[in-house]
Structures are given as structure tokens and as C-alpha cells.
């Protein structure tokens, strides 16, 4: 079986309950059925998940993601959300290690490895984000940087557990900046990530891994990015908040 194509929308800290309900309604009415082997994933804030789950219930090809979770199963962690709570809301995926979590909440690769375990233990899948800051790209150190993120965050997993992981490559200099990676930069990094996974596990595991590109992906550039052989879809921020744009990106997969 060929690997899955995925278009995922990361709403970040946007949309109240009513705005979010409308956005999902609009997305559902402008997008056609994603088709076999294509998944559309929507990652709204925690407060939207229960309602979104009921809206997506009967739509095949649509899945729900959370943007984060805590690494512990339960306990005295005021304000936090455990993976099991997300599972009970019909959440299928959890985004782990978004650069904003790494940067503003000091999430280390070691912590992200624990969060990954927490998600997988509940039978959900992980969208694991990696990507370098601009100064690392300028020094041409991006491959080593991303390899370390993957090695420390994911390579403790068994080969079986790793089947439930998707990697999103999001160069930090491209997130929310309007400066997209070129198709060549995206393809080079995605091929590199696949080779790192092949080196640690094996070629078949690497071949099955969906690797998404994220960072100023929009209706104008999605088709060219998704046409790269190692780009299996996108993790979309800003453009996922506009139903029409998100639907055009879904159509480009």
C-alpha cells in the first residue's frame, strides 16, 4: 500500500466555539470527499474538540487532532490535558513538538519523546514536528539539527510503534512569515528525513512514513509542494482558518 496523503489544519490559538463551528461547517461544504488514501485532519483548540468531533462524525476521510497533550496519564497538573482525555473525544492524532511549543513552552526533545509515548499508549497517532531556525539554515546545519530532533524524539520507539507516527517538517523561518521553503528545499529535507528513518529502522518503514511540509503553505504553492515525491501533504496554519483556502489546499493534494 502506498503511504497516506494528508492535509492537516492547525488552528493554533484561534476561533471561539461559534467561529470554529462555522469554520468546520464551511470546510465540510466546500471540500469534496478526500478520496481513498487521503486524510484531512483538523486540529482546533481543545475547547472545540467535542463539538468538532460531532460535526466530523459521519464524514469519511476527516479526522480530528489535538495540538498538544501532557505526558502523564492523570494527576495534579492544573490546566493540563492528558492523552486519554483526548482519546475519549474521538481524537485520532496529536501534534507533538510544534516549534511554538518548543520555543515558548521550552519543550525539549526528551519531553517530546514522553509525550509521544503518552499519545501512542492511548492508541492515537502522533504528528511529530521538526524544523530548524533561520540561523541554522544559514549555517547549512539543518540536516544535523533535524536528525537530532528525530533521533531524540522518536527513535526510542519500536518499529511497530513508529508506524503510528507522521513527521511534519516545518522550517521555523517559514512559519507564518509568508516565506515558503522552495520545492527543492522541501524535497531535499523530506528525502533526508526518509533516509534517516530508513537508516534507523528499514527502507519499508521509511517508505510508509507520511512526511508533511508546513510553513506558509497556501493555495498558490500547495500543488507544487505536494508534487514533490517525498512531500506527502501539508500542515497548514494561517490558510487553514479560511475555509476556501483550506479547501483549495485539500484539492491540491
Residues found near ligand PGA in the complex (CB under 6 A): 10, 170, 175-176, 214-217, 235-239
Judged by beta carbon, residue 126 or residue 201, the one nearer ligand PGA is: 126
Instruction: Tell which residue, 239, 182, 236, has the closest CA to residue 212.
Output: 236
Count of beta carbons in the 10 Å neighbourhood of residue 152: 14
3-state DSSP call for residue 121? helix
CB-neighbour burial class of residue 104 (10 A; exposed 0-12, middle 13-18, buried 19+): exposed
> Which residue's CB is nearer to ligand PGA, number 201 or number 226?
226
Least distance to ligand PGA from the beta carbon of 4, Å? 18
Separation between Cα atoms, residue 97 and residue 106, nearest integer Å: 10
What residues are labeled active site? 98, 170
CA distance 68 to 50: 15
Closest to ligand PGA by CB, 14 vs 163, is 14
DSSP result, 195-238: HHHHHHS-HHHHHH--EEEESS--TTTHHHHHTSTT--EEEESG
In angstroms, give the least distance from the CB of 156 to ligand PGA.
25
Identify whether the C-beta of residue 62 lies closer than 8 Å to the C-beta of residue 34: yes
Compute, in degrees rounded to 10, the torsion defined by CA atoms 181, 112, 14, 60.
80
Q: How far is the CB of 192 from ligand PGA (least distance, A)?
A: 20
66, three cell numbers: 489535538
**Residue 21: CB minimum distance to ligand PGA, A:** 22
Our CB check for ligand PGA shows the closer of 12 and 156 to be: 12
Nearest-CB residue for ligand PGA? 237
What is the rounded CA–CA span in Å between residue 202 and residue 94?
Answer: 25
C-beta of 236: minimal distance to ligand PGA in Å?
5
Amino acid at each position: 500500500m502506498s503511504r497516506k496523503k494528508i492535509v492537516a489544519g492547525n488552528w493554533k490559538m484561534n476561533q471561539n466555539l461559534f467561529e470554529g463551528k462555522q469554520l468546520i461547517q464551511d470546510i465540510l461544504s466546500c471540500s469534496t470527499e478526500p478520496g481513498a488514501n487521503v486524510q484531512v485532519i483538523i486540529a482546533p483548540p481543545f475547547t472545540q474538540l467535542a463539538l468538532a468531533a460531532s460535526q466530523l462524525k459521519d464524514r469519511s476521510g476527516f479526522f480530528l487532532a489535538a495540538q498538544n497533550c501532557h505526558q502523564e496519564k492523570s494527576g495534579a497538573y492544573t490546566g493540563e490535558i492528558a492523552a486519554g482525555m483526548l482519546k475519549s473525544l474521538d481524537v485520532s492524532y496529536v501534534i507533538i513538538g510544534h516549534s511554538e511549543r518548543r520555543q515558548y513552552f521550552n519543550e525539549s526533545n526528551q519531553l517530546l519523546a514522553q509525550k509521544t509515548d503518552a499519545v501512542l499508549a492511548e492508541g492515537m497517532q502522533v504528528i511529530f514536528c521538526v524544523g530548524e531556525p533561520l540561523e541554522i539554515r544559514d549555517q547549512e546545519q539543518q540536516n544535523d539539527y533535524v536528525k537530532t530532533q528525530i533521533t531524540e524524539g522518536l527513535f526510542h520507539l519500536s518499529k511497530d510503534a513508529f508506524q503510528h507516527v507522521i513527521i511534519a517538517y516545518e522550517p521555523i523561518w517559514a512559519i507564518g512569515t509568508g516565506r515558503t521553503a522552495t520545492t527543492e528545499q522541501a524535497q531535499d529535507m523530506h528525502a533526508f528525513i526518509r533516509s534517516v528513518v530508513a537508516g534507523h529502522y528499514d527502507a519499508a518503514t521509511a517508505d510508509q512514513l507520511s512526511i508533511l511540509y508546513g510553513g506558509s503553505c497556501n493555495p498558490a504553492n500547495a500543488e507544487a509542494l505536494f508534487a514533490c515525491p517525498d512531500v506527502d501533504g501539508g500542515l497548514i496554519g494561517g490558510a487553514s482558518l479560511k475555509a476556501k483556502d483550506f479547501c483549495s489546499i485539500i484539492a491540491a493534494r
